[in-house]
Structure 1
């Protein structure tokens, strides 16, 4: 779909099309289409040709804030595979809250109903947003990750000042005593910086993840940051990015 022509179709709160509001745009990059705002538009749909049947319109979400709501948000790589993730989700979110993150964007390829429950709790608390990845054509998991990055970049733009892109089994740590990641990012405000790169410290995971919660004593025993401590040397190969989404 790269650079393909598409049409934005706009609809009001009753899902009635707003006549004359359509917009001809292009796909760039692979999965992003710019549909300018229209007065009275509550829903939008995208089609390849004006004569095509319009797919179910999707509700627009207001994200054009004068000032970002969040200083640091986390975009989490799409979930795939059969490994249980409930304890990873909880540890991941609570750890990064201590580093100053206040919002999390999750993208779901595969997840069990049991693991989804804890995600839904974080959504209900206002800590997270979950997007299910689905399409009528099959994609290998790595192709979905490219779409997830583009989608999350757009979602976090104007919503968060800084956005980190990492996997569910990764943790951001700072080396400066008594400083969180947000403290360090705030010191960069006066500089014209759009992206910082974080070196990667690989931790060897050689055990299984518990399928279900069995009691309080299980949690500290199974937390990834406690259970797995054997590491390799830090490297910038496959480094992780923290960006200013409004500048990138």
Structure 2
């Protein structure tokens, strides 16, 4: 009996050794004990065979006295449970492949009418079929490190951004201070949610705010954070992943900014940790011109965040969202090696967004196509040491958008896709999709853009990433030559030249139109 109980437990909470194909995410308790793991249908079938073999290996396959053996009955029950999980997994997979304009799709509407469709959706008003992030207390979790604070008019609350990893759903206390730096209100207990965000109720006479892990932790005057309130604007910004490391970023950064400016973007929020002198010169130039707001973040190598996957990246996403609320109509969160490309040569991306916009669309999700770069970008010294004619030729011939035009077939939806969002519609943003809408799934929907209309053009270097992922990318279909529309590409080249001229203090009359 003890052995059979052990096997049944394995059926509900399968070990990794049995379920090798289990999906990567799982739910666990705060004590770190394993919880329910979602698997694909093949894994469920394989596990069911193992369980039934162990439960019935000592039983005859026939009935005894007109009754089924106890082991067979239990096996049937386990099979039924695993089959249910398998069906749910298949349905999740079906939804992941739903068409881009699913709001008008007949099959999707029929699926939503099924009585069990809501069971498969995540908690509360999370986006459909998104795993609910659960806090797991790790030994290397950082202490709370508040960095910025914003007033969120949508919920009439103060959102404090904390630069701390692995603290989702951890307890936090909002601390309120007046203009004399005196704490005038009892600490408010809350939790870290969404990731890197602590939401605090507003208070009269508040001038500064801070977040601590306990209600009575001491707070120094220099630690207190003022609250940012941004005016409304209809401009369209881009936010980049943090720039850092020894890689030469300046040429990609130049293309990133000037291509999207040619497509209608007017403002950029660029997160910077450390970089070469050419990248820094570009950032300073864009900052002086009012094109970009450069946010300098602490070096992750100086604290525990260095060991957390996408730590600064995820922080940047939530911070960009809060900086954009009530300030920008649209916001895009992508990396500097990505371009959001439109296939229609007569429109800019901003034109397309305005034509497609509907009140119920909270985000536009773009499928990814990879352009494999076969060489590294120019070294930083080219920006300072080359003659201006050589710089112009460098842009005309070496810009990745011009040089690398062989693209992969589009990846499936939600596979490394990127989004343009309406900031007021989003409460929790992930790297590749919206995790939670501010008004619930009934208020907003995601528009899944067809690759024939627009897509993300991802310029990946054929280094370690290419060795590991090239086979998967190739499985999406054949590579093909895909040129960018000539009008936007020509403007990108012209803008790029003018920016380099300005950095080198060379006056070019034709460049006045771009600033």
**What is the DSSP-based 3-state SS (H/G/I as helix, E as strand, rest coil) of the residue aligned with 1:76?**
strand
Deviation of the 1:13 alpha carbon: 5.0
Deviation of the 1:12 alpha carbon: 4.4
Larger Rg: 2
Match of 1:244 in 2: 422
Deviation of the 1:7 alpha carbon: 2.1
2:209 aligned with 1:44: yes
**What is the DSSP-based 3-state SS (H/G/I as helix, E as strand, rest coil) of the residue aligned with 2:395?**
helix
**What is the DSSP-based 3-state SS (H/G/I as helix, E as strand, rest coil) of the residue aligned with 1:8?**
strand
Match of 2:169 in 1: 3
Structure-2 separation of matches of 1:71 and 1:33: 27
Unaligned runs of 5+ in 1: none
Structure 1 pair 174/121, CA: closer, same or farther in 2 (3 Å)? same
**What is the DSSP-based 3-state SS (H/G/I as helix, E as strand, rest coil) of the residue aligned with 1:19?**
strand
TM-score, L = length of structure 1: 0.87
Structure-1 separation of matches of 2:201 and 2:174: 9
Q: How does 1:11-22 map to 2 (within 5 A)?
A: 11-13=177-179, 16-20=181-185, 22=187
2:184 aligned with 1:28: no
Are the equivalent residues in 2 in contact too, given 1:158–1:245 (CA < 8 A)? yes
Cα-Cα RMSD? 2.3
Are the equivalent residues in 1 in contact too, given 2:176–2:185 (CA < 8 A)? no
Q: How does 1:198-217 map to 2 (within 5 A)?
A: 198-212=366-380, 213=383, 214=386, 215=388, 216-217=391-392
TM-score, L = length of structure 2: 0.44
Are the equivalent residues in 2 in contact too, given 1:201–1:232 (CA < 8 A)? yes
Deviation of the 1:194 alpha carbon: 0.6
Aligned residues: 244
Match of 1:230 in 2: 406
Are the equivalent residues in 1 in contact too, given 2:363–2:422 (CA < 8 A)? yes
Match of 2:246 in 1: 82
Name which of 208, 215, 221 aligns with 2:397. Answer: 221
Are the equivalent residues in 2 in contact too, given 1:79–1:109 (CA < 8 A)? yes
Are the equivalent residues in 1 in contact too, given 2:286–2:292 (CA < 8 A)? yes
Unaligned runs of 5+ in 2: 1-166, 427-515
Structure-2 separation of matches of 1:59 and 1:211: 40
Match of 2:304 in 1: 137
Structure-1 separation of matches of 2:326 and 2:229: 10
2:224 aligned with 1:60: no
1:80-125 Cα deviation digits (max 9, x unpaired): 3311112222221111011111111222243234412211221222
Deviation of the 1:18 alpha carbon: 4.5
Structure 1 pair 89/40, CA: closer, same or farther in 2 (3 Å)? farther
Deviation of the 1:33 alpha carbon: 0.8
In terms of fraction of residues, the more helix-rich structure is: 2
**What is the DSSP-based 3-state SS (H/G/I as helix, E as strand, rest coil) of the residue aligned with 2:323?**
helix
Structure-2 separation of matches of 1:224 and 1:49: 50
2:275 aligned with 1:97: no
**What is the DSSP-based 3-state SS (H/G/I as helix, E as strand, rest coil) of the residue aligned with 2:406?**
coil
Structure 1 pair 118/41, CA: closer, same or farther in 2 (3 Å)? farther
Are the equivalent residues in 1 in contact too, given 2:178–2:184 (CA < 8 A)? no
Name which of 138, 143, 146 aligns with 2:314. Answer: 146
1:3-51 Cα deviation digits (max 9, x unpaired): 222222234456x235127533321022101134444444322111132
